[in-house]
Structure 1
Amino acid sequence: MKNNKNIFRTLFIFCYLLAAWPLFAANQVQGIRIWPSPDNTRVVFDLKEAAEHNSFSLDKPDRLVIDLRDTSGGSQLPNITGESALIKAIRSSGDNNSMRIVLDLSKNSQANVFTLPPTAPYGHRLVVDLPDKLPEQFIPPPAIRAARDIIIAIDAGHGGEDPGSIGPSGYYEKNITLPLAKRLLALINAQAGMKAMLVRTNDYYVHVNRRTEIARGQQADLLISIHADAFTSPQPRGASVWVLSLRRATTEVGRMLEQTERHSELLGGVAEIIKDSANERYLAQTVLDLSMNHSMTTAHQVANQVLQELEKVAYLHKSKPQAASLGVLKSPDIPSILVEVGFISNPQEEKQLRSANHQHKLAQAMFKAVKRHFEQAPPADSLFALHRARQHKVSAGESLSVLAQRYQVSVADLRQHNQLSNDSIRVGQVLRIP
């Protein structure tokens, strides 16, 4: 009799576990994060396991429906962090075997739903990208270029769902690059004749292809992408500067030539002359090659200047510009550099990179280098070029009165403008002409 009771108890437990098995085996939604940006909203569902999903859109009203198989769920969702004007609500229903998630949208959006494998600090994720046309208030002006201003596009690496590299203390690369970019922005905007714009202005993700497009849309004279390096061991340290490799540049030029609808954007006014791109492809090729050569030469010059200044405030990992096929450096028509300000994987440098004082020094170094480059080689239509043209290097036999007559200014103005105590000048001296 006792054996029968044991057998019965064992069968009961087995049947109970069998009935409850879906509950134990099911996937679970553990968190929901919303990352808004000016032209896209990303929703990330943190999951216990890899997701098996289907999705479809509905209208009147606009909704995105996601069905998760083998996922326990109901009307209760975990806490949601972040918000977006595009998402009115996120709700769910289901049982122990499946879960339906509905995103109520304020407007139609062609959603892209995909999964991501675990990458520290995140586990399995289901990602929903919801493109959004720029609202009126977020549309940048056709160009923020004031008359003769030099435009610098500053790209803070990573952002949003992409934290970048992670330091020994758990600090994210994205939390270094954006504050540093904002410091550089302030320094450049305080300089007459220069304007800066941020590729991303807050903690959201911008696809690498969009970064160069944003810079091009603002007619940038230079793109600076700021990152922090990392390695599998803590020993490597120091800053480095990267430029576009010739192989990548050549590939991008070929790709641009195929995109005939973008020739006016890439070739500027020359595109009005090159009407038939099929018959005059060689001319378009020549123009883009010249643009590429100019951009790569400029990038190398700026990179060398930046390294010279960084060496004064930081240890250098590489003392010369490094060439690479990095996505953010892919634009052959915009001079572009990527600055690795140090190794976040090095405990000492991670601590240093988090320091506001050190970030200020790094921003100052980059600003001084960029300013010096454009003072020495300003774009022809810039305020810097105008100022450079109003300088004179004194030659033998020249006097202050002779120069005043030549430039049609008074001797007193010439003296005051150059802070001269008398009329004496020396050969080789550079005078600024008022």
Structure 2
Amino acid sequence: MGAGWQSVTRRILLMCAILLLSGLGQITYAAVQVESVRLWRAPDSTRLVFDLSDTVQHKLFTLSNPSRLVIDIENTRSGTSFSELPLKDTPIRGIRSAERNGKDLRVVLDLSAAIKPKSFVLPKHGDKNDRLVIDLFDRDKPVEKTVEQLVSTHQGKRDIIIAIDAGHGGEDPGASGPKIKGRHLREKDVVLSISKQLADMINAEPGYRAELVRTGDYYIPLRKRRDIAREKRADLFVSIHADAFKNPRASGASVFALSRSGATSETARFLAQQENEADLIGGVGGVSLDDKDEVLRGVLVDLSMTATLGSSLQVGDKVLKSMGTFAHLHKHQVEQAGFAVLKSPDVPSILVETGFISNPGEANKLNSYAYRQKLSRAIFKGIRQHFYALPPAGSYVAYLKYGGKPVASSAKEHVISRGDTLSGIARRYDVTVSQIQKANRMSSSAIQVGQTLKIPAS
């Protein structure tokens, strides 16, 4: 009987060992889980992001007839669905996934257009999980504007071009504010709204043209933002932000220029560090000086940066003072720090912190369309003051300042839209407020959305 029990015991132990090894095998072969998946569309690319429970190994390859991109992720299982991803206006017709080899995950993208794929893994950073990023670059070559196409029609004089950079975007939401109507206010949304409102004002002004660096909810690497401004032949680069600080009582708008040494304050140093980490969150794994030796290259960049930084500080001072007429300022002088996005050697660049989104009072203001209009108007007023004082050669503003005459407006009527003011409309059509009031028999400057105004000849 003793021998029988020993036999039974051995069998039980053997079965337990088999079950244990089986369990360990499952842990080994399905250690990583895809916890969520997100998709962003940019003007020239599509980004697919897998949020993971741990880091992974993966590989990509393409198949034709029909066109597909295959993503094999080792030792991974899917814990999410691909069915809700916004595939409209992307080169992806559909997404399928299945287990492969009993332990790997295969994801297949059915494609409707030619793409150039690129992939990389981002390690865990802050509150961001490990991520696998798949970028699908459109193969259609973008149309490049010639110098002639960039020149305006203002009597052959060119527009002053302002590149407006809405910070963050896509999977990088930027700073987070308090809940408003059940949802946290996100920096990326606030600054895109301000940027678009500012662009509308700039484009309504004869002699100026705005170029939005980011037009939607997607991420652009910091260096590429500067490159876009240079490609647009910008006269000024303005990066718009609404950051958070470790102290929620911190408040006030600020303007920053680049520092080539240390930061001018602890706040400036902290904000620059936060912004410079954006590429780690957003996922980033001009004049060419490549043919110059290292010493000469350094001298040329140093000379260019010195002149550019001087202009940045000048325009920054005008913008800061203009905002200070109605907004609380965090500092009353332009601060400086090593912001990566401002490191353009030949385009004057400023970073405008419109307020601290971490401060509940300022977050409520930033969530207001009317307050964002005030901010936009103040920023543009400072820009206008700077360029009227120092207009670029060959620009329409220089033409007006040095003896030219304004171009008569051909507009006959103007329909009031949200955010319009009588003084703003007068500037747009190069007439005075009193002329508009007289033409419309107005006894005050009050206007209403939807109202049609007659615009007298300028």
Q: TM (normalized to structure 2)?
A: 0.70
> Corresponding residue for 1:217?
231
State the shift of 1:46 in Å. 2.3
- CA shift in 2, pair 1:205/1:140, >3 Å: farther
Q: 1: distance between equivalents of 2:17 and 2:375?
A: 65
Of residues 60-69 and 352-361 in structure 1, the stretch that sits farther from structure 2 once superposed is: 60-69
In the superposition, relative to structure 1, how do residues 10 and 171 fare at CA in structure 2: closer, same or farther (>3 Å)? farther
C-alpha deviation, 1:201, in angstroms? 0.7
1:187: which partner in 2? 201
Deviation, 1:232, is 2.1
The match for 1:234 among 248, 264, 287 is 248
Alignment-mate amino acid for residue 197 of structure 1: E
Alignment correspondent of 1:68: 73
Of 40, 48, 53, the residue aligned with 1:35 is: 40
In 1: Cα distance, 2:151 partner to 2:363 partner: 36
Deviation at 1:85, TM superposition (A): 2.9
Q: Deviations over 1:229-277 (max 9, x none)?
A: 21123121111111122359xxxxxxxxxxxxxxxx538xxx9xxxx95
Gaps of 5+ in 1: 249-264, 392-416, 419-433
Uncovered stretches (5+) of structure 2, i.e. residues with no partner: 263-285, 405-430, 433-457
- In structure 2, do the counterparts of structure 1 residues 104 and 79 end up closer, same or farther at CA, with 3 Å as the change threshold? closer
Q: Is the 8 A contact 1:33 1:80 kept in 2?
A: no
**Following superposition of structure 1 onto structure 2, how do residues 32-431 of structure 1 map, counting pairs within 5 Å?**
32-47=37-52, 49-61=53-65, 62-73=67-78, 77-83=81-87, 84-94=89-99, 97-105=103-111, 106-117=113-124, 119-120=126-127, 122-133=128-139, 135=140, 139=143, 141-142=145-146, 144-146=150-152, 147-169=157-179, 170-247=184-261, 265-266=286-287, 288-390=301-403
Query: 1:13, 1:316 → 2: CA distance?
Result: 70
CA contact (8 A) 1:244 1:337 kept: yes
Asked if the contact 2:116–2:138 (Cα under 8 Å) also holds between the matched residues in 1, the reply is yes
Paired with 1:286 and 1:10, the residues of 2 have a C-alpha distance of: 76
> Relative to 1, partners in 2 of residues 1:220 and 1:14: Cα closer, same or farther, differing over 3 Å?
same
- Distance change >3 Å, CA 22–CA 228, structure 1 → 2: farther
Superposition deviation, residue 210 in structure 1: 0.9
1:132-177 Cα deviation digits (max 9, x unpaired): 34x46x5352353423210000000011111111113222110111
Q: 1:78/1:59 Cα in 2 relative to 1: closer, same or farther (>3 Å)?
A: closer
CA shift in 2, pair 1:132/1:343, >3 Å: same
* RMSD (CA atoms): 3.5
Q: How many angstroms apart in 2 are the aligned matches of 1:90 and 1:174?
A: 28
- What is the TM-score of this pair, normalised by structure 1? 0.74
Q: Note the alpha carbon deviations across 1:264-314, whole angstroms, 9 max, x for none.
A: x538xxx9xxxx9569x85x8776555333321111111001110111222
TM-aligned CA deviation for residue 215 of structure 1: 0.7
For residues 352 and 211 of structure 1, the distance between their equivalents in structure 2, rounded to whole angstroms, comes to: 27
Contact 1:152 1:195 in 2 (8 A): yes
Secondary structure of 1:246's counterpart equals coil
Partner Cα distance (2:362, 2:15) in 1: 60
Q: Which has the larger radius of gyration?
A: 1
Aligned-pair distance for 1:20? 5.5
Asked if the contact 1:26/1:71 (under 8 Å) is kept, the reply is: yes
Q: Which 10-residue stretch deviates more, 81-90 or 300-309?
A: 81-90
Kept in 2, the 8 Å contact 1:31–1:80? The answer is: no
The aligned amino acid for 1:320 is Q
Residue 10 of structure 1: how far off its partner (Å): 11
What secondary structure is seen at the aligned counterpart in 2 of 1:342?
Answer: coil
- Whole-Å Cα distance in 2 between the matches of residues 6 and 341 of structure 1? 74
Residue pair 2:163, 2:236 contacting (<8 A) in 1 also: yes
- 2:206 is aligned with what amino acid? A
Name the residue aligned to 2:422: none
Range moving further from structure 2, 14-23 or 24-33: 14-23
State how far apart, in whole Å, the 2-side matches of 1:59 and 1:78 are.
Answer: 20
Question: Would you say the 8 A contact 1:118–1:125 is kept in 2?
Answer: no
Amino acid at match of 2:316: A
Instruction: Provide the rounded CA distance (Å) in 2 between the counterparts of 1:386 and 1:172.
Output: 42
Q: Residues 73 and 349 of structure 1: is their aligned pair in 2 closer, same or farther, counting only changes over 3 Å?
A: closer
Q: Which moved more, 1:50-59 or 1:162-171?
A: 50-59
Q: CA separation in 1, counterparts of 2:78 and 2:256?
A: 48
- Given that residues 119 and 132 in structure 2 are in contact (C-alpha distance below 8 angstroms), is that contact kept between their aligned partners in structure 1? no
Q: Shift in Å at residue 361 of structure 1? A: 0.8
Does the CA-based 8 Å contact 1:145-1:151 persist in structure 2? no
Deviation at 1:338, TM superposition (A): 0.5
- Contact 2:34/2:50 (8 A) holds in 1: yes
User: The residue matched to 1:225 in structure 2 has which SS?
Assistant: strand
Contact 1:116 1:127 in 2 (8 A): no
Higher mean C-alpha displacement, 101-110 vs 373-382: 101-110
Q: Could you tell me whether the CA contact under 8 Å between 2:95 and 2:110 is conserved in 1?
A: yes
Shift of 1:11: 9.3
Deviation, structure 1 residue 87: 2.4
SS, match of residue 229 in structure 1: coil
**Offset at 1:332?**
1.6
Going from structure 1 to structure 2, the CA distance change for 1:12 and 1:352 (only over 3 Å counts) comes to farther
User: Distance in 2 between the 1:296 and 1:128 partners?
Assistant: 37
SS in 2 for 1:185: helix
Instruction: State the alpha-carbon separation in 2 of the partners of residues 108 and 101 from structure 1.
Output: 17
Partners of 2:298 and 2:11 in 1: how far apart? Answer: 83
Q: Work out the CA distance in 2 between the residues paired with 1:103 and 1:97.
A: 20
Contact kept? 1:77, 1:92, Cα under 8 Å: no
